[in-house]
Amino acid sequence: MKAQVKWLGEELFLGTSASGHTLILDANAEGLAPSPLENILISLGSCSSVDVVSILQKARQEISGCIVDIDGTRVDSVPKLFSSIHLHFVITGKNVKETVVERAVALSADKYCSVALMLSANVKITHDFSIINQ
């Protein structure tokens, strides 16, 4: 896997993946784009969501939505690393079973999500979920 990051000026950078997809990052967090650390939270949430949705679909759960709210806490000293990250999954669907969602979230965190597994060596990652059955 390869990628390239190009400086655009000020503290803006353009990231390009080997597949040609791009994203802009704002290292100064002036509201023009996500910062690199915000992007880590987004990457963690999307990686884990892919797993959770796939596991729930394979378990024949009638899901219609999956949102994950991610809350990262950073240390006060430089470098301001993440000390902990919490993911809260909100699963929407019909007759969604709590035990199946609990298993899906745990499997993602403990076995499948590459981003979570890389971060967990240095960051405390926790998760919980709620279900909205319609």
My answer on whether omega of the bond before 79 falls inside 30° of 0, hence cis, is yes
- Using alpha carbons, select from 107, 96, 102, 99 the residue that is nearest to residue 61: 96
Per-residue pLDDT of the chain (134 residues; tens, 9 = 90+): 999 999 999 999 999 999 999 999 998 867 789 999 999 999 999 999 999 999 999 999 999 999 999 999 999 999 999 999 999 999 999 999 999 999 999 999 999 999 999 999 999 999 999 999 99
Please name the residue that has the structure tokens 């999500």. Answer: 113
Residues of the chain with CATH 2.20.25.10: 1-34
Distance between CA atoms of 63 and 43, rounded to whole angstroms? 22
CA distance readout (Å), 86 to 45, 125, 128: 10, 6, 8
Superfamily of domain 36-133: K homology (KH) domain (3.30.300.20)
Query: Two tokens at 119?
Result: 């971060």
Q: Yes or no: is domain 1-34 CATH 2.20.25.10? A: yes
Residues of the chain with CATH 3.30.300.20: 36-133
pTM, to two decimals:
0.94
Distance between CA atoms of 53 and 91, rounded to whole angstroms? 9
Query: Two tokens at 63?
Result: 């899901």
